[in-house]
Chain A
Amino acid sequence: AQKITQTQPGMFVQEKEAVTLDCTYDTSDQSYGLFWYKQPSSGEMIFLIYQGSYDEQNATEGRYSLNFQKARKSANLVISASQLGDSAMYFCAMREPGYSSASKIIFGSGTRLSIRP
Chain B
Amino acid sequence: SQTIHQWPATLVQPVGSPLSLECTVEGTSNPNLYWYRQAAGRGLQLLFYSVGIGQISSEVPQNLSASRPQDRQFILSSKKLLLSDSGFYLCAWSERRDTEAFFGQGTRLTVV
Taking Cβ atoms with an 8 Å cutoff, the residues of A that contact B are 31-33, 35, 37, 43-45, 47, 50, 52, 91, 93, 95, 98, 101-110, 112
Contacts and interface: CB of A to CB of B under 8 A. Distances in A.
A50 B100 contact: yes
Nearest to A35: B100
Interface string B87-108: 0101010101111111101101
Given A32-B98, A109-B42, 17 more contacts: A33-B98, A35-B100, A44-B103, A45-B106, A47-B101, A50-B99, A91-B44, A93-B44, A102-B57, A104-B49, A105-B34, A105-B92, A107-B43, A107-B44, A107-B46, A108-B43, A112-B41
B59 A104 contact: yes
Interface in B20-79: 32, 34, 36, 41-44, 46, 49, 51, 55, 57, 59
Nearest to B100: A47
A58 B103 CA distance: 24
Interface of B: 32, 34, 36, 41-44, 46, 49, 51, 55, 57, 59, 88, 90, 92, 94, 96-103, 105-106, 108
6 contacts: A43-B105, A44-B103, A95-B98, A104-B49, A107-B44, A107-B46
A105 B101 contact: yes
A87 to B, nearest CB: 15
A38 to B, nearest CB: 11
B52 to A, nearest CB: 9
Contacts of A106: 46
